[in-house]
Amino acid sequence: MSGPQHILDVEKLRRAFGGLVAVNDLSFSVASGEVLGLLGPNGSGKTTALNLMSGLLRSDAGAIRLNGHDISGLPAFKIARLGLTRTFQLVRVLDGMDCRDNIRAGIVFNKPQVRAAGIESDITALLDRVGLAGQGNRPAADLTYIDRKRLELARALAAGPQLLLLDEWLAGLNPSELTIGIDLIRSLKDDGITVVLVEHVMAAVRALCDRCVVMSSGRKIAEGATSDVLSNPVVVEAYLGGVAAHA
Amino acid sequence: MTLRTTTLGAIALAAIVLLAFVPRLANPYYLALAISLLQYTVLATAWGMFSGPTRYVSLATTAFFGVGAYTVAVLGEVLPWPVVLVVAASLGAILAAVVGLSTLRLSGVYFVIFTFGLAELVRQLVVWFEVNKSRVLGRYVFVNVTQSDIYWQLLILAIAVFLIGWLVARSRLGFALRIIGEDETVATHCGINTTIAKVALFTISATIMTIVGAIMAPRWTYIEPSIAFNAMISFQVLIMALLGGAHRLWGPILGAVPLVILFELLSARFPNTFTIILGCIFLLIVYLLPRGVAGLLESGKARWGETFKPRAVA
Ligand SMILES: Nc1ncnc2c1ncn2[C@@H]1O[C@H](COP(=O)(O)OP(=O)(O)OP(=O)(O)O)[C@@H](O)[C@H]1O
Ligand SMILES: [Mg+2]
C-alpha cells in the first residue's frame, strides 16, 4: 500500500541483463524520515536497484513511486529535480574542477531559484558539513579517497534532496573515518533527509538503519527492523561465508 | 571589472580597429589570405565551442558550411543580402537541431562517423535535387558583394563568435557542458537535461558555421556540391582546433592562424602531395600536443608560476 507517509514505493521491479535477472520482482517502501538499509551479498542486485530508482537504468517492469508519483521511465535529470539524489559505488567526482564547482554542479540545475550570493554561502556550508572546510579551491583530482567520497556526498546534498541513495559510501574508510562517516549520515537523518543505505559494513548498518531490506540473487529475502533482519536465519544463510561472517 | 579584463578588452579593441583597416591597406593577395584566416578562425572557434567542452568530435563542419554557401547560390539573386544571411542561418540552425536531437545520444566514435556521413548525405541530397529538380549541375553566384565586404562581414562574425563563446562559458549552459564533458552520468544526476544542453550548443556552433559558408559563397563565381561540401574543410577545421586547443575559447585561433598560413604555402608549393602532408601534420599534432598550443601555454605558465612563487617561510 502506498500512503502519504511513504516517500518511496517500489513495486514488482524487474531488470534483466541478457539472461541474468539482476532485480527480480522487488517490492518495498521507504517511510519518510527513515534510514533504510538495502543489504545483500555481492552481486545480489543492490546497485542495480539504486540505478533503477535514480533513472540511470530503465526497468523492464514494475513501478517506482516518489511521493506517490510514478518516476519509472523518467530521465535521471527529472528524478534528481524531484528530490532524489545519490552517490555512486565507484566514486564519481568532476576531476577537472575544484571542490566548489563540484558542489555548485549539484546546486545550480536543481535549484534555479537560488541567487548567486546564496549559492556561494551554500557551497561553503556544504564543504564544512562534509569535513572539507577550507578545501574549496582545491582541484577534485588532488583529493584523497575519503575526501573524494565527502565531495561526492556534498554534491548529492547540494541539490537539497528529500531522498538520498548512498551506495557503499562508508566502504574503504578506516575506523576513525567510519565513526565520522556514521555521525555524518545520522546528521542527515536529523535534518529530515530520508536515506537508502546500501552497505556491507555491519557496524554502520546496526548504528544507522531503522529498517532493512535484504536481497539475494535479485529478490527480496527479508525485510524488517534491523536487529530482527540481521538475526534472521534466511539472511544469515545468504551471507554465510560473506560479510556476516566477520561482522 | 578586474585590471586583467580591462587590459585584455583594450588589446582586443585595438586589434579589431587595426583589423578593420586591412582591406584599405592590403593588396588583393593579402586580403584573400586575411579572409582565409578569418574564415578558419571563426570555423575552428565555433567547432571548439561545442567539441571542446563536450569532447564530441564533429566532422560535420562542411555540411553546415555548404548549406550556407548553397543558400546564397540559390537565393542570392532573389532576396536582399541580409535576408539571405538570415535564411541561411535559419536553415543551418534547423538542420543542426534535427541532427543534434537524433545523434547526440550516440557516443564517441559513432558520433564521429555519423557526422562524417551527414556531410556526405547532405551533399548527395543537394546533387540529387539539382540534377532531378533544378536540372543544373552547378550554379553561378551572382551577388554584389566585394572581397572587402566579405572580409568585414567575417570580422564582425568573428567578434560575435568570441562574444557568444565568452557569454556561453559564463552561463549555466556553459557550466552544464563542462560537467557533461567530465562525466555525463554525473551531469544527468545533477539535474542537467544533457540532450537539450548538447543540442543547444551544437546548434549555436553549427549556425555560425553556416553563416561563414553564406558569407564566403560570393568568393566563388561558380559553385557546385563538391566545392561547397568539401570534406577537407571539416578535417582542416578539426586539425586547427586541436592544434590550438579546443578546451579554451581562444585556443582554436592559435591553431587556425599558423595552419592557414602553412597550408597556403604548402598547397602552392606541393599541390599534389598536400593531403599527405596534411595527414602527417594531423598525426604529429595529436601525438605531440594532445592539449594543443593553449595547453602548452598553460602548463608553461603554471611552471613559471611554480618557479617564481615566493617560498613559504617555515
Ligand atoms: N550494466 C550491467 N550489465 C550487465 N550485467 C550487470 C550490469 N550491472 C550489473 N550487472 C549484473 O547484475 C548483477 C547484480 O549486480 P549489482 O551491481 O546490482 O550487485 P550489487 O548487489 O550491487 O553487488 P555489490 O555488493 O558487489 O556491489 C551482477 O551479477 C552483475 O554482474
Ligand atoms: Mg553494488
Which residue among A160, A188, A217 closes a domain? A160
| Cα three-residue angle B183-B188-B190, rounded to 5 degrees | 95
CB B190 within 8 A of CB A80: yes
CA gap A126, A130 in Å, rounded: 6
Tell whether the model's pLDDT for residue B292 goes beyond 80.
no
The pLDDT tens digits for B91-142 are 999 999 998 888 877 777 888 888 888 889 999 999 998 888 888 888 888 8
Ligand 1 atom at minimal distance to the Cα of residue A46:
21
With CA atoms as reference, the chain B residue closest to A106 would be B190
CB A52 within 8 A of CB A15: yes
Q: Are residues A152 and A178 in the same domain?
A: no
B265 shares contact with chain A (CB less than 8 Å) = no
Tell whether the model's pLDDT for residue B18 goes beyond 90.
no
The pLDDT, as a whole number, for residue B112 is: 86
DSSP-derived secondary structure letter, A14: E
Which residue among A136, A160, A184 closes a domain? A160
The pLDDT, as a whole number, for residue A131 is: 93
- Alpha-carbon gap: B281 to the closest alpha carbon of chain A (Å): 28
Arithmetic mean of pLDDT over chain B: 87
Measuring CA to CA, which residue among B12, B72, B99, B48 is closest to residue B212?
B72
The pLDDT, as a whole number, for residue B55 is: 82
Q: Are residues A49 and A74 in the same domain?
A: yes
Q: Are residues A242 and A183 in the same domain?
A: yes
Q: Are residues A137 and A200 in the same domain?
A: no
With CA atoms as reference, the chain A residue closest to B171 would be A108
Chain B residues 115-174 within an 8 A CB cutoff of chain A? 172
The pLDDT, as a whole number, for residue A113 is: 67
Q: Which residues contact B51 (CB under 8 A, 6 or more apart)?
A: B57, B58, B241, B246
Classify residue B312: in a domain, yes or no: no
Q: Is A80 close to B189, i.e. CB distance below 8 A?
A: yes
B167 CA to middle of ligand 2, Å? 41
Q: Are residues A18 and A56 in the same domain?
A: yes
Classify residue B220: in a domain, yes or no: yes
A16 CA to middle of ligand 1, Å? 10
The pLDDT, as a whole number, for residue B304 is: 58
Domain count, chain B: 1
Q: Are residues A173 and A149 in the same domain?
A: no
DSSP one-letter string for A132-149 = -TT-TTSBGGGS-HHHHH
CA gap A85, A56 in Å, rounded: 11
The pLDDT, as a whole number, for residue B310 is: 43
DSSP-derived secondary structure letter, B138: -
- Cell 551506495 maps to which residue? A167
Mutate: best of A71, A91, A93, A108, partner B, most B CBs <10 A: A108
Domain count, chain A: 2
Q: Which H, E and C letters describe A86-118, residue by residue? A: ECCCCCCCCCCCEHHHHHHHHHHCCCCCCCHHH
A154 shares contact with chain B (CB less than 8 Å) = no
Q: Are residues A78 and A111 in the same domain?
A: no
B180 shares contact with chain A (CB less than 8 Å) = no
What backbone torsions phi and psi does residue A161 show, to the nearest 5 degrees? -70, 155
Cell, residue B88 = 541561411
For range B68-87, the mean pLDDT: 93
Beta strand A211-216 pairing with A35-39:
parallel
- Cell 564582425 maps to which residue? B156
A108 shares contact with chain B (CB less than 8 Å) = yes
A106 shares contact with chain B (CB less than 8 Å) = yes
Classify residue B5: in a domain, yes or no: no
Q: Which residues contact B36 (CB under 8 A, 6 or more apart)?
A: B260, B264
Domain that holds residue B66: 11-307
CATH number at residue B240: 1.10.3470
CB B250 within 8 A of CB B91: no
What backbone torsions phi and psi does residue A221 show, to the nearest 5 degrees? -110, -15
Classify residue B1: in a domain, yes or no: no
For range A34-47, the mean pLDDT: 95
Neighbouring CB atoms inside 10 A of A119's CB total 17
Q: Taking the model in full, what pTM does it have?
A: 0.84
Q: Are residues A3 and A72 in the same domain?
A: yes
Tell whether the model's pLDDT for residue B301 goes beyond 90.
no
Mutate: best of B190, B193, B194, B195, partner A, most A CBs <10 A: B190
CA gap B9, B5 in Å, rounded: 6
Percent with pLDDT over 90 in chain B: 44
Q: Is B191 close to A97, i.e. CB distance below 8 A?
A: no
The pLDDT, as a whole number, for residue A244 is: 45
DSSP one-letter string for B26-77 = S-HHHHHHHHHHHHHHHHHHHHHHHHHHH------HHHHHHHHHHHHHHHTT
Instruction: Count CA within 13 A, CB hemisphere, residue B153.
Output: 20
CATH number at residue A32: 3.40.50.300
Classify residue B2: in a domain, yes or no: no
Q: Which amino acid is at B251?
A: G
Cell, residue A107 = 546546486
Mutate: best of B179, B189, B192, B248, partner A, most A CBs <10 A: B189
Query: Could you tell me which residue, B69 or A247, shows the higher pLDDT?
Result: B69
Instruction: Answer yes or no: is the C-beta of A216 below 6 A from any ligand 1 atom.
Output: no
Which residue among A107, A129, A160 closes a domain? A160
DSSP one-letter string for B175-198 = HHHHHHHH-HHHHHHTT--HHHHH
- Element housing B309 (H / E): none
Q: Are residues A211 and A242 in the same domain?
A: yes
Q: Is B188 close to A94, i.e. CB distance below 8 A?
A: no
The pLDDT, as a whole number, for residue B303 is: 61
CB A225 within 8 A of CB A209: no
Domain that holds residue A132: 91-160
CB B95 within 8 A of CB B199: no
Classify residue B48: in a domain, yes or no: yes
The pLDDT tens digits for A48-81 are 999 999 999 999 999 999 999 999 989 999 999 9
The pLDDT, as a whole number, for residue B279 is: 82
Q: Which residues contact A157 (CB under 8 A, 6 or more apart)?
A: A85, A106, A126, A129, A130, A164, A188, A193
Q: Are residues A35 and A66 in the same domain?
A: yes
For range A38-54, the mean pLDDT: 95
With b for 16 or more beta-carbon neighbours within 10 A and e for fewer, the A33-45 pattern comes to bbbbbbbbbeebb
CB A159 within 8 A of CB A113: no
Please report the number of interchain residue pairs, chain A to chain B, with beta-carbon separation below 8 angstroms: 62
Measuring CA to CA, which residue among A127, A161, A166 is closest to residue A147?
A127
Mutate to test the pocket of ligand 1, among A47, A58, A89, A198 (most ligand atoms within 8 A of CB): A47
Q: What is the CA radius of gyration of chain A?
A: 18
CB A72 within 8 A of CB A59: yes
